[in-house]
Amino acid sequence: MAYAWVIDTDHLFEEAEPGEPGFTPDEAGTAGPSDATEADLLRLKNGEGDTFQMFDDDGNLYYTGRLVVSGKTTYEDEEACFGPLGDFGMGNAGCTSIEWPGHPERNCG
């Protein structure tokens, strides 16, 4: 499975100093998975990819990002479609679903 993703907007990020109440680190720019190829990461850096959004179980938007696929992987492959959520969103912030604006057939979670 060949894919890569990047977080473009961290909707949880709040301007505050580390240690102050309400501080959360800005996850914008976080990319994955750990075995993503340099070529796919470069494609993301150059603005390629399909947009996704990750939400918690209350429907709150946490992250917006982009995904690219390569090789024989397609956007319809469940592992790639679910990748950003499983690789990052669930463990990092408790996201429970991922949606693909303009591509509802890909929605996972």
pLDDT mean over 54-65 = 96
Lowest mean pLDDT: which of 9-13, 16-20, 99-103?
Answer: 16-20
The pair of three-digit structure tokens given for residue 16, joined into one six-digit string: 């505050």
pLDDT band at residue 98 under the 50/70/90 scheme: very high
Q: Which regions of 1-109 does DSSP assign to beta strands (E)? A: 3-10, 31-32, 50-55, 61-69, 97-99
Q: 80 exposed, middle or buried (CB, 10 Å; 0-12, 13-18, 19+)?
A: buried
pLDDT of residue 27 exceeding 60, the answer is yes
Predicted confidence (pLDDT) per residue in 64-85, tens digit: 999 999 999 988 898 999 999 9
pLDDT at 91 over 70: yes
Query: In degrees to the nearest 10, what's the CA dihedral of 46, 94, 103, 39?
Result: 30
